[in-house]
């Protein structure tokens, strides 16, 4: 049976995660893997409901309630999809995973990062990725790439053209949070400049994955 492989992609809004997860899935399939591609929150029935609530739910959601929703979606995804796929020796590629909670709800919303690590640990049963790819990009670049018609709760916190520099703080904190997580465990993370051409980003990711 092939060695199972678990790769996660993280980053801010509009960093190109879905394109790059698709490209690496094609590469891994070409290497002989059966590949399961998932996105958080989502990829289960519960996850899809949670996705709609946290992205477009019209009601106010406190940071802790928001965290619990992401964790509920994550634990369902791990038990229902990720663990069974890894047990079959597959490669699993996930668009976001536990580090998004540390960056958004921890560094971004200000919840205690050590508490969030413990909650993540419970939700995932201690499952950790073999590699996390951070698609890093300045917040201003996200603003420019964002499709204005499809603004969700998180994107609505991106600064607009007329906002003061201080309004950038939520997404700037999230970005710095991801960079700090990557710095704490460089052997587990690959940080890629997401403003590079798509093909170059993909080449850098493939080079690191082929070393795993
Ligand atoms: P996306 O999949 O389009 O990036 O949307 C997911 C949104 O949810 C994105 O703004 C990041 C946010 N999010 C969190 O705040 N915490 C989490 O744990 C996860 C998985 C996503």
Q: How far is the CA of 153 from the centre of ligand 1 (A)?
A: 10
* Pocket-testing residue among 18, 100, 117, 173, ligand 1, by greatest number of atoms within 8 A of Cβ: 100
Q: How far is the CA of 47 from the centre of ligand 1 (A)?
A: 12
Nearest to 128 by CA among 157, 89, 92, 159: 92
pLDDT in tens, 71-82: 999 999 999 999
Is 132's pLDDT higher than 50?
yes
Mean pLDDT (the chain, rounded): 94
Please give the helix or strand (H or E) that residue 39 lies within, else none: strand 35-39
Reduced to 3 states (helix: H, G, I; strand: E, B; else coil), residue 7 is strand
What is the number of H-type helices and E-type strands within the chain? 9, 5
State the pTM of this model.
0.94
Q: What's the average model confidence in pLDDT over 129-151? A: 89
Specify the ligand 1 atom closest to the Cα of 41. Answer: 20
User: Going from the N-terminus, what domains does the chain have, and what CATH number goes with each?
Assistant: 5-210 (3.40.50.300)
Which residues contact ligand 1 via a Cβ below 6 A? 13, 39-41, 54-55, 70, 96, 100-101, 104-105, 154
pLDDT in tens, 63-118: 999 999 999 999 999 999 999 999 999 999 999 999 999 999 999 999 999 999 99
Q: How far is the CA of 135 from the centre of ligand 1 (A)?
A: 14
Q: How far is the CA of 184 from the centre of ligand 1 (A)?
A: 22
CA-derived radius of gyration, the chain: 17
How far is Cα 171 from Cα 159, in angstroms, rounded to an integer?
9
How far is Cα 70 from Cα 35, in angstroms, rounded to an integer?
24
**Nearest-5° Cα angle at 106, 74 to 121:** 40
How far is Cα 155 from Cα 183, in angstroms, rounded to an integer?
26
Specify the ligand 1 atom closest to the Cα of 17. Answer: 4
Please give the helix or strand (H or E) that residue 201 lies within, else none: helix 198-210
* Beta carbons of 121 and 63 less than 8 angstroms apart: no
The beta strand positions in 55-194, using DSSP E, are: 91-95, 131-136, 189-193
How far is Cα 149 from Cα 10, in angstroms, rounded to an integer?
23
């Amino acid at each position: 049976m092939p060695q199972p492989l678990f790769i996660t992609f993280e980053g801010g809004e509009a960093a190109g995660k879905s394109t790059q997860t698709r490209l690496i899935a094609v590469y891994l399939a070409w290497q002989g893997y059966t590949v399961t591609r998932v996105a958080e929150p989502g990829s289960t029935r519960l996850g899809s409901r949670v996705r709609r609530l946290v992205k477009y739910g019209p009601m106010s959601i406190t940071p802790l309630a928001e965290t619990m929703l992401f964790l509920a979606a994550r634990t369902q995804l791990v038990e229902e999809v990720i663990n069974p796929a890894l047990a079959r020796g597959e490669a699993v590629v996930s668009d976001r995973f536990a580090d998004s909670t540390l960056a958004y709800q921890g560094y971004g919303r200000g919840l205690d990062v050590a508490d969030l690590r413990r909650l993540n640990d419970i939700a995932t049963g201690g499952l950790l990725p073999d590699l996390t790819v951070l698609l890093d990009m300045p917040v201003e670049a996200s603003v420019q790439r964002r499709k204005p018609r499809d603004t969700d709760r998180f994107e609505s916190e991106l600064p607009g053209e007329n906002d003061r520099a201080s309004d950038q703080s939520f997404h700037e904190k999230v970005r710095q949070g991801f960079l700090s997580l990557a710095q704490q465990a460089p052997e587990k993370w690959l940080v890629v400049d997401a403003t590079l051409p798509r093909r170059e980003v993909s080449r850098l990711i493939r080079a690191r994955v082929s070393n795993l």
